[in-house]
Amino acid sequence: MSLLEVEDLTVTYGTDDGRVHAVNGVSFAIEEGINYGLAGESGSGKSTAAEAVLGLLPGNGRIDAGSVRFKGEDLLEMSADERQDVLWEEIAYIPQSAMDALDPSMSCGAQIRQAISKHRNVSTANARDRVRELFEMVGLDPDRADDYPHEFSGGMRQRVTIAMALALEPDLIVADEPTTGLDVIVQDKIVDTILDIQERIDSSLLLITHEIGVIAETCEELSLLYGGKVMEQGSVDNVLLNPTNPYTMGLKNSFPEVDDLGDDPVAIPGSPPDLGQPPEGCAFVDRCPFATEECERTHPPLVDLPNRNHRSACHHVDEAAQMRNAAGDPET
Ligand code: ATP
Ligand code: MG
């Protein structure tokens, strides 16, 4: 049994201009002890997928289909209260821009203590000790636990949100863009902190980021989303070092440090599809060098490739792989 199993997840948002098809039939599974990456360009549906999994979609969001099982139990079938318990006790969520969402009127320590006291029957003194311990764990000075959010830098605030998420020692940490907006050196330190703590408390990780370099450094498996669909999925070695999907190849060119090719980053030309009017064919068709009439007509299914733990949704998997080889990718 997987720790988290998401199947055929489909999410739309209601807007004045009609429904936005943000997540379209996404399936993935996270095994215990695995660090799993969810990547893709801005607007590809990463946060929507996470919020749907955690039952935290905004009011205009709706799950139209799919199931989400955590340790075998369907989170979507649970009452809001039951799900809330699982969320606090077993899954920790660090939302996108969490560090900017700390309550400015409360000290950081008080916010963490509040989170602990809500779910554990602990004395004030014990909660204080626990906050000091957590501060130390995430590399913050415990003597600063009573400082207010504005007294900390962005990187330090992000550490506070990590401390808060870890307070109850979850089995799964879901972190949405935990390094975005921080400078590169701080980013590396935050990633190291998450990995270090995660090893100590023995949890799994769902890391959401548009930076595939961060995923290459931290995760064993990933799914790459585009237009709310999984385009390529599997082990990091297969997907990022030997991609078969033109979208993955394009993303790799945007983040050449992924396999130390050392080239200048080249963004994928064009822009993502309008999810208010999702294309009938492949979501990537307008930006793909391999696109044919077939790609205009039908979205390719996600199919298993011959190597283990590798799936790709592309009508032209073979040609794309040939192009990659011809380009002299050192990993092939
Ligand atoms: P980013 O990297 O920018 O965080 P993302 O991959 O997390 O992007 P989402 O935020 O999940 O993407 O958005 C997926 C799609 O859903 C986008 O087209 C976005 O505009 C749309 N969307 C997100 N939230 C809402 C909302 N509350 N109402 C309507 N549309 C929304
Ligand atoms: Mg997001």
Whether the per-residue pLDDT at 321 is higher than 90: the answer is no
- For atom 3 of ligand 1, the residue with the nearest CA is 42
Measure the CA–CA gap between 135 and 148, rounded to whole angstroms: 14
Question: Hey, how many other C-beta atoms are within 10 angstroms of the C-beta on 326?
Answer: 9
Helix 246-254 vs helix 317-326: crossing angle, to nearest 10: 40
C-alpha of residue 215 to centroid of ligand 1, in Å = 20
**CA 148/CA 45 separation, integer angstroms:** 33
Q: Which ligand is nearest to the CA of 59?
A: 1
Q: What's the pLDDT at 99?
A: 84
Min mean pLDDT across 30-34, 150-154, 157-161, 192-196 is at 192-196
Best mutation site among 46, 96, 176, 223 for ligand 1 pocket (most ligand atoms within 8 Å of CB): 46
pLDDT tier, 64 (very low <50, low <70, confident <90, very high otherwise): very high
- Torsion angle, CA of 269/273/279/283, rounded to 10 degrees? 60
Question: Is 149 a pocket residue for ligand 1 (Cβ < 6 Å)?
Answer: no
Query: How far is the CA of 145 from the CAs of 101, 122, 258, in angstroms?
Result: 17, 18, 37
Joined together, the tokens standing for residue 207 give: 């890391």
Pocket test for ligand 1, best of 20, 222, 225 (most atoms within 8 A of CB): 20
Residues 6+ away with beta carbon under 8 Å from 288: 246, 247, 282, 295
Q: Is residue 331 scored above 60 in pLDDT?
A: no
Residues with CB under 5 A from ligand 2 (ion): 46-47, 96
For residue 275, the model assigns a pLDDT of: 94
Task: Say how far apart CA 207 and CA 214 lie, in whole Å.
Answer: 9
**Which percentage of the chain shows pLDDT scores above 90?**
69
The DSSP secondary structure of 69-116, one letter per residue, reads EETTEEGGGS-HHHHHHHHHHHEEEE-TTGGGSS-TTS-HHHHHHHHH
Q: Where are the alpha helices (DSSP H) in the chain?
A: 46-53, 80-90, 108-119, 124-137, 154-166, 184-201, 212-218, 236, 246-254, 293-297, 317-326
> Using a 6 Å cutoff on CB, does residue 222 contact ligand 1?
no
Given pLDDT bands bounded at 50, 70 and 90, which one contains residue 327?
low
- Which one of 12, 13, 179 would you pick to mutate in the ligand 1 pocket, going by the greatest count of ligand atoms within 8 A of its CB? 13
The residue-averaged pLDDT of 308-319 equals 91
Atom 28 of ligand 1, residue of closest alpha carbon: 13
Distance between CA atoms of residues 203 and 183, nearest Å: 26
- Residue 221: DSSP 8-state: E
For 220, how many CA atoms within 13 A lie in the half-sphere containing its CB? 11
226 ligand 1 Cβ < 6 A: no
Atom of ligand 1 nearest to the CA of 48: 11
Query: 294 C-alpha to center of ligand 2: Å?
Result: 31
CB atoms within 10 A of CB 328: 8
pLDDT digits (tens, 9 = 90+) for 37-51: 999 999 999 999 999
Average pLDDT (128-155) is 95
DSSP-based three-state secondary structure for 255: coil
Query: What average pLDDT does the segment 162-181 reach?
Result: 91
Distance of CA 122 to the CA centre of its chain: 32
Instruction: Tell me: pLDDT of 332 over 60.
Output: no
Tell me which of 187 and 104 has the higher pLDDT. Answer: 104
How far apart are the CA of 68 and the centre of ligand 1, in A?
A: 20
- pLDDT single digits (tens) 204-218: 999 999 999 999 999
47 Cα–ligand 1 center, Å: 7
Q: How far is the CA of 48 from the centre of ligand 1 (A)?
A: 6
Which ligand 1 atom sits closest to the C-alpha of 44?
Answer: 6
Helix/strand/coil for 46? helix
- Whole-number Å distance, alpha carbon 41 to ligand 2 midpoint, is 9
Confidence check: pLDDT of 239 > 90:
yes
- How many other CB atoms sit within 10 Å of the CB of residue 122? 14
- The string of pLDDT tens digits covering residues 254-300 is 887 777 666 778 888 899 999 999 889 999 999 998 999 999 999 99
Q: Whose CA is nearest to atom 29 of ligand 1?
A: 13
Q: Complex ipTM, two decimals? A: 0.99
Query: Average pLDDT in the 139-150 region?
Result: 96
Q: What is the mean pLDDT of residues 160-175?
A: 91
Task: Kindly report the length of the chain.
Answer: 332
Residues 244 and 320 sit within 8 Å (Cβ to Cβ): yes
Q: Is the pLDDT score of 88 beyond 80?
A: no
Atom of ligand 1 nearest to the CA of 272: 18
